[in-house]
Structure 1
Amino acid sequence: METMNILADKTLIIFDWDGTLMDSIGLIVESMHIAGEAHGFHTTDQAVKDIIGLSLLTGIDILYPDATDEQKLAIQHSYSDYYIPNSHRTPLFIHIEEMLQTLQNQGKQLAVATGKKRRGLDRVLDASDSHHYFSVTRCADESESKPDPQMLNDILKQTQKQIADAVFIGDSIYDIQMANKLGMTSIAVDYGTATHEDLAAQHPTYQVDTPQGLCNLLCIQ
């Protein structure tokens, strides 16, 4: 009951996108392999998962430190060239749309803070017909990359909410680190990029292992 009472007071629910709301991790990994290998660079599935949540160029810097600036830009373009026409393969996780509807009906204000660029987020919001759920969205090309908390600060300012009013939900260590920098309540989800152990090491306020578990935690009756 104590958990439910604490979350009942939260009027602003901020979500990461990839791996938290949308089942896009597989396509991101596939796209990065194809993009890197097109320019002579190789990496592992886990290495790609570890940079999800960061801005794309920041992630490419980490994955391919020996690449020149020109090569990194070429990898970014190749990534987009593959990801965009295949983005129809990335649905919302099961139960997520029902959760968003319930939270909206309960009067919660919903927002997104993502490592995607604005054009990329708008594209998947259109594809999933979910624009109307979110009053505020913030992207990597409008802010400092996670785990810098600028995205969250911008959302708080735009919604005129305080840190204590909000909860942030994400699937990467960068998400939880970002919330921790502000002392914001956080929920780590284990079904995205990071392992349960890696997320637990960041000391999220709560941790769930399935989309249904997230729904059960947030959608207080």
Structure 2
Amino acid sequence: MTTDLLRLVIFDCDGTLVDSQHAIAHCMDHAFAEHGLDCPGLEKTRTIIGLSLPEAIARLARPAVLDASLIDAVTNSYKSAFFTLRQSPDFFEPLFPGVLEVIETLDQRGWLSGVATGKARRGLDAVLERNNLSRRFVTLQTCDNHPSKPHPSMLEAAMSETGTDPRNCAMIGDTTFDIEMGRAAGMLSIGVAWGYHERETLEKAGAHAVIDHFDQLPDVLDGLWHTARHPA
């Protein structure tokens, strides 16, 4: 198959594939409290999900905290809290409805699948293994080796690994960071309405479409790709 025919769809993880908001907010509050900082709470934490952890914590802590060493300490406390939480027998981070079926449909239609996430690789691997998704993605990009979203570095690496062209790629995510990252990489950007940023903010960020249910993705994606490649 030639490079021009290879098509790649790249998914965000938190808020797109899995509903992790409560676990993230719990660990964020724990980390902030451990260092005597005001806990951000769920609603505020939802706004930064998708960013790399140090960037997310820095945004939540401003303007009260500008000290880089404290940001690093809170970051380490968060990682420790999440590792402990993940070992709990009642840990719950469910897939959103339709994920497995849609990835299978996309595969049948000739789309390769990948992930680009603000999670660390250890956290992403845990999610994929727990949900039997480890073999479904041909490229996995995490914050360990890249700048935070919305910088396009993760998407550029995904395209380089798979030999794909941005004209044949799409980013799927629930936050403005995902949409802006996809646009910066020159690919289609599709928002999902079940995640952590509102539909209106996704549209204002430049989403080519926003879907309400996962099973809408294959047809919307194919339609946008075909229109982009074969304009009237």
Q: By the TM > 0.5 criterion, same fold?
A: yes
Counterpart secondary structure, 2:135:
helix
Output the CA distance in 1 between the equivalents of 2:218 and 2:25: 26
Q: Aligned match of 1:107 in 107, 110, 131?
A: 110
Cα distance, 1:10 vs. partner? 7.5
Alignment check: 8 A CA contact 1:179 1:186 kept: yes
Aligned CA RMSD, in angstroms, stands at: 1.9
Q: Quick one: which amino acid aligns to residue 80 of structure 1?
A: K
Cα distance, 1:13 vs. partner? 0.7
1:5 aligns with: none
Structure 2 matches for 1:67-216, cutoff 5 A? 67=65, 68-87=67-86, 88-214=91-217
Unaligned runs of 5+ in 2: 224-232
Cα distance, 1:142 vs. partner? 0.9
Output the CA distance in 2 between the equivalents of 1:41 and 1:11: 45
Alignment check: 8 A CA contact 2:176 2:205 kept: yes
Moved more, 206-215 or 22-31: 206-215
TM-score, scaled to structure 1 = 0.88
Unaligned runs of 5+ in 1: 1-8
TM-score, scaled to structure 2 = 0.84
Counterpart secondary structure, 1:132:
coil
Counterpart secondary structure, 1:79:
helix
Output the CA distance in 2 between the equivalents of 1:211 and 1:91: 14
CA deviation map 1:71-100 (0-9, x unaligned) = 322222222222234344102111111111
Alignment check: 8 A CA contact 2:116 2:142 kept: yes
Asked if 1:28 is matched to 2:27, the reply is no
Where in structure 1 do 4 or more consecutive aligned residues deviate above 6 Å? none
Alignment check: 8 A CA contact 1:113 1:137 kept: yes
Asked if 1:16 is matched to 2:37, the reply is no
- Provide the aligned length of Structure 1 versus Structure 2: 212
